[in-house]
Amino acid sequence: MADKKISVLLVDDHRLVRMGFRRIIEDETDLEVVGEAGDAEEAVRQALQLKPRVVVMDCALPGGSGITATKKILETLPGMAVLMLSMHSEDTLVRQALAAGARGYILKSAIDLELPAAIRRVAAGEKVLAPQLEKSETLKGERNAGLTPRELQILQKIVDGKSNKEIAAELGLSANTVSVHRANIMDALGIHKTAELVVYAIRNGLVNVP
């Protein structure tokens, strides 16, 4: 091919998964893997150093989420295309990834079919969403709208370790209202324990971790 190959940085915390992605990508004559990273920090470092055309970014990473890493990369290199991969199709996550600047969001379950085409499309400046997401049904325990801005604000404070009373005081709400919001958040995400909620929120990039 006369055109320069599309350079790709692979980011996933599982080495075997990266090997699988590499194989899929390198079967294509116009795509080339120039680097790999296993956590958020390494992803940012490699992206800034290698300056690939496309970063294939796992959403849930150790050391910070793929969404946070995406924001950091695009602050320095706004022209870079980030394609987000996830096991999850929650609308909240998809919206957060796109808000962070990702050009695409595809599900790992459909990776074989979609990865090379999705890489080409984001490299060309297109937005790519997995077909399942464009017409996604509401998954068990989730609402189509995802979390509201107020719920995300309260979720952040829950992750910061604040009690309902403290959150109420900071936001000028009653403790009862905060309690209702907390119940709605858990219901929306299908989670019933605060500890699980905190882990889920951090792993899926729904909150900022100091």
Are 74 and 81 a contacting pair, CB within 8 Å? no
pLDDT at 145: 38
d(CA 59, CA 36): 15
Which residue in the block uniquely carries the two structure tokens 């829950």? 158
Q: What is the pLDDT of residues 33-72, one digit of tens each?
A: 999 999 999 999 999 999 999 999 999 888 788 999 999 9
Which of 47-56, 111-120, 141-150, 193-202 is predicted most confidently?
Answer: 47-56
Please tell me whether the overall predicted TM-score, pTM, comes out greater than 0.75 for this model. no
- For the chain, percent of residues with pLDDT exceeding 70: 88
The one-letter code for the residue type at 196 is E
pLDDT in tens, 93-103: 888 888 889 99
- pLDDT exceeds 60 at position 4: yes
Where do runs of H (alpha helix) occur along the chain? 15-26, 40-50, 66-76, 91-99, 111-123, 131-134, 149-159, 164-171, 175-189, 194-203
Mean pLDDT of 118-146: 66
Domains of the chain and CATH, by start = 6-134 (3.40.50.2300), 149-203 (1.10.10.10)
